[in-house]
């Protein structure tokens, strides 16, 4: 499988604090890649750099062969982000939010309508189509947020804590949505929910203090840590695992 993302010595420093420290890794095309770590591990900073929101201090990453440092405008054409917060326009309706995002990617009017209809159907948003997005529950806001990210048919999708604060049913529903996206889209996901990463991911990267502590499939990581439960694996690797 070809690499969709090639990260080379990517570093972000804020003054003396190193948020992401010389990360190097490859993510294959169509893979769901999870970033795990405690708060402040550098997951969101890494996603922000890859999605061109934050400029790296040094290093680079190639997304479908385009540099996030020198070709950020090109990269923006085929990526999408669903940030940690719901990131929707509160006084616009669900339909208008989707149309806005499609319009900003330069689609013509007819395509905007077509894509909006598709997203509304795909995420079962029909009952709320004409409701202002600020009136939706947390779960529906999250769904809308992900639908807004997907409306441009991104090749690479960044999901930052997509199920944060959702109840178990809403979370499972979103998992099903994410599951369906695999193969067509390369997904980079950050989460605090270990079972989410375990259930959805092809590969998991555990970060601590801006560095990679371990990387691999769930079974590879369990093997590396010498445990059978992923939660134990995570704790062991975060506390004393080897570094890249």
Partner 1 sequence: MKMTIFAKRTTKEIIRDPLAVLFGIGFPVVLLLLLSAINRNIPNDLFNIERLTPGVAVFGLSFMSLFSAQLIAKDRASSFLTRLFTTPMKAADYILGYALPLVPIALAQGIVCYAVAFLLGMKFSLSIVVALIMLIPISFIFIGIGLLCGTVFSEKAATAICGALLTNLTAWLSGTWFDLNLVGGAFKAIAYVLPFVHAVDMGKAAAIGAYADMLPHLWWVLAYGAALVVIAVATFRRGMKIS
The C-alpha atoms of residue 216 and residue 121 are separated, in whole angstroms, by 35
Closest listed residue to residue 29, CA positions, set 65, 54, 74, 77: 65
Contact with partner 1 (CB under 8 A): which of 18, 28, 100, 238?
100
The C-alpha atoms of residue 125 and residue 188 are separated, in whole angstroms, by 24
Contact with partner 1 (CB under 8 A): which of 53, 164, 170, 235?
53
Q: Per rule CB under 8 A, is residue 203 in the interface with partner 1? A: no
Which of the stretches 15-23, 30-38, 73-81, 166-174 binds partner 1 when contact is defined by CB under 8 A?
73-81
Q: Per rule CB under 8 A, is residue 61 in the interface with partner 1? A: no
Instruction: Report in angstroms how near the CB of residue 132 gets to partner 1 at its nearest.
Output: 7
Contact with partner 1 (CB under 8 A): which of 45, 64, 86, 222?
86
Query: Restricting to residues 120-179, which ones interact with partner 1 according to CB under 8 A?
Result: 132, 148-149, 152
Instruction: Report in angstroms how near the CB of residue 221 gets to partner 1 at its nearest.
Output: 30
Q: Per rule CB under 8 A, is residue 73 in the interface with partner 1? A: yes
Contact with partner 1 (CB under 8 A): which of 11, 22, 60, 105?
105
Q: Per rule CB under 8 A, is residue 186 in the interface with partner 1? A: no
Judge residue 119's burial from the number of C-beta atoms within 10 Å of its C-beta, 0-12 exposed, 13-18 middle, 19 or more buried.
buried
Instruction: Report in angstroms how near the CB of residue 58 gets to partner 1 at its nearest.
Output: 16
Instruction: Report in angstroms how near the CB of residue 77 gets to partner 1 at its nearest.
Output: 6
Closest listed residue to residue 156, CA positions, set 102, 99, 40, 75: 75
Parallel, antiparallel, or unpaired: how do β-strands 17-28 and 3-14 relate? antiparallel
DSSP secondary structure of 41-53: SSHHHHHHHHTTS
Sequence-ordered alpha helix ranges (H) in 105-167: 109-122, 138-150
Q: Do the Cβ atoms of 49 and 61 come closer than 8 Å?
A: yes
Residues of this chain that interact with partner 1 (CB under 8 A) are: 51-55, 73, 76-77, 79-92, 96, 100-101, 103-106, 132, 148-149, 152
């Amino acid at each position: 499988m070809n690499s969709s993302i090639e990260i080379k010595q990517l570093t972000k420093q804020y003054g003396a604090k190193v948020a992401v420290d010389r990360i190097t890794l490859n993510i294959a095309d169509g893979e769901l890649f999870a970033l795990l770590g405690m708060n402040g591990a550098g997951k969101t900073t890494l996603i922000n750099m890859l999605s061109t929101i934050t400029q790296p201090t040094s290093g680079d990453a190639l997304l479908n062969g385009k540099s996030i440092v020198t070709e950020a405008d090109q990269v923006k054409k085929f990526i999408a982000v669903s940030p940690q917060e719901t990131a929707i326009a509160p006084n616009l309706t669900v339909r208008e939010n989707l149309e806005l995002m499609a319009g900003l990617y330069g689609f013509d009017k007819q395509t905007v309508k077509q894509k909006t209809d598709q997203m509304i159907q795909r995420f079962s948003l029909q009952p709320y189509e004409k409701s202002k997005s600020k009136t939706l529950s947390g779960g529906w806001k999250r769904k809308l947020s992900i639908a807004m990210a997907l409306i441009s048919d991104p090749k690479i999708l960044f999901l930052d804590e997509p199920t944060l604060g959702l109840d178990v049913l809403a979370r499972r529903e979103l998992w099903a949505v994410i599951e369906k996206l695999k193969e067509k889209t390369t997904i980079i996901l950050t989460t605090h929910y270990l079972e989410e990463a375990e259930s959805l991911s092809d590969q998991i990267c555990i970060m601590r203090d801006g560095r990679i502590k371990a990387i691999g499939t769930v079974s590879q990581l369990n093997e590396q840590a010498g445990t059978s439960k992923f939660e134990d694996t995570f704790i062991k690797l975060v506390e004393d695992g080897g570094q890249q």
